[in-house]
């Protein structure tokens, strides 16, 4: 482990959680460095956000018809060559293979927009609304070899209000995420839980 822990943040889209974490690193509230932001999607808004903050970025595109391990190899290479200690998933839409997770045991962290094990999968916010749930929320967990699964480190509930749409609920959830993710990373990285 580096004296100042080094993070690789993996994204596929907007990157608002990535930005919240990178800001926490920059203002010192999270004693870590964003070593690189990696995206499978070359057009991710989060790549532009990272570059604006002066953070190194890498695009690791997935090729169709190629085994997932092969698609992950460039990501593993980025992580290794940059001396990364922790891999932080922040809206990374590809499922990582068991062999990737075994390469970095206990060192891959994810945020998911529901109270797991409720509403796993890529449409957690939509699914909670469609189920007519009274509340949903956010989970931060260590990634194991199953999808949206592994030791839960933090959860926070968000109410679902009458008239909520996917957009209004997503905004409430994002506000929680931007607070909860940097705070929980601090706990995981520095309190050794
Ligand atoms: C977040 O809601 C996160 O929980 C989920 O993907 C979304 C990413 O949003 N895994 P953003 O790209 O950080 O804005």
Domain ranges of the chain: 6-191
Tokens of 185: 């990373």
SS (H, E, C) the chain: CCCCCEEEEEECCCCHHHHHHHHHHHHCCCCCEEEEEEECCCCCHHHHHHHHCCCCEEECCCCCCCCHHHHHHHHHHHHHHCCCCEEEECCCCCCCCHHHHHHCCCCEEEEECCCCCCCCCCCHHHHHHHCCCCEEEEEEEECCCCCCCCCEEEEEEEECCCCCCHHHHHHHHHHHHHHHHHHHHHHHHHCCC
Asked if 122 and 98 count as a contact pair (C-beta separation under 8 A), the reply is no
pLDDT band at 191; cut points 50, 70, 90? confident
Mean pLDDT for the stretch of residues 31-39: 98
Asked if 37 and 18 count as a contact pair (C-beta separation under 8 A), the reply is yes
Q: Any idea which residues carry the catalytic annotation?
A: 112
Ligand 1 atom closest to the CA of 138, numbered from 1: 4
Beta bridge partners of 109: 88, 142
Which tens digit of pLDDT belongs to each residue from 76-115?
Answer: 999 999 999 999 999 999 999 999 999 999 999 999 999 9
Mean pLDDT for the stretch of residues 58-82: 98
Residue among 94, 136, 174, 181 to mutate when testing ligand 1 (max atoms within 8 A of CB):
174
Distance, CA of 66 to CA of 75 (rounded, Å)? 15
Distance, CA of 11 to CA of 168 (rounded, Å)? 22
Please determine, for residue 192, whether its predicted confidence score (pLDDT) is greater than 80: no
Distance, CA of 192 to CA of 162 (rounded, Å)? 40
Ligand 1 atom closest to the CA of 11, numbered from 1: 12
In this structure, which CATH number among 3.40.50.170, 3.40.50.150, 3.30.450.70, 3.20.20.70 belongs to the domain 6-191? 3.40.50.170
Neighbours of 135 (CB within 10 A): 13
Please determine, for residue 193, whether its predicted confidence score (pLDDT) is greater than 90: no
Gyration radius of the chain over CA positions: 16
Residues flanking ligand 1, CB < 6 Å: 11, 13-18, 46, 90-91, 111-113, 177
Which tens digit of pLDDT belongs to each residue from 2-19?
Answer: 899 999 999 999 999 999
Angle formed by the axes of helices 166-190 and 16-27, nearest 10°: 40
Which tens digit of pLDDT belongs to each residue from 128-185?
Answer: 999 999 999 999 999 999 999 999 999 999 999 999 999 999 999 999 999 999 999 9
């Amino acid at each position: 482990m580096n004296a100042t822990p080094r993070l690789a943040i993996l994204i596929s889209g907007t990157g608002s959680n990535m930005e919240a974490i990178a800001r926490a690193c920059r203002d010192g509230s999270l004693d870590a460095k964003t070593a690189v932001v990696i995206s499978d999607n070359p057009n991710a808004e989060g790549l532009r956000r990272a570059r604006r903050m002066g953070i190194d970025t890498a695009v690791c595109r997935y090729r169709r018809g190629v085994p997932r391990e092969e698609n992950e190899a460039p990501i593993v290479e980025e992580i290794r060559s940059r001396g990364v200690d922790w891999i932080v998933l922040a809206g990374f839409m590809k499922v990582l293979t068991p062999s990737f997770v075994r390469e970095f045991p206990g060192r891959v962290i994810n945020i998911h927009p529901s109270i797991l094990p409720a509403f796993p999968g890529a449409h957690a916010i939509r699914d909670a609304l469609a189920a007519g749930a009274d509340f949903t929320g956010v989970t931060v967990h260590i990634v194991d070899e199953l999808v949206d699964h592994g030791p839960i480190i933090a959860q926070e509930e968000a109410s679902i209000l009458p008239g909520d749409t996917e957009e209004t609920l997503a905004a409430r959830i994002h506000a929680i995420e931007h607070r909860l993710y940097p705070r929980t990373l601090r706990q995981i990285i520095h309190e050794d839980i």
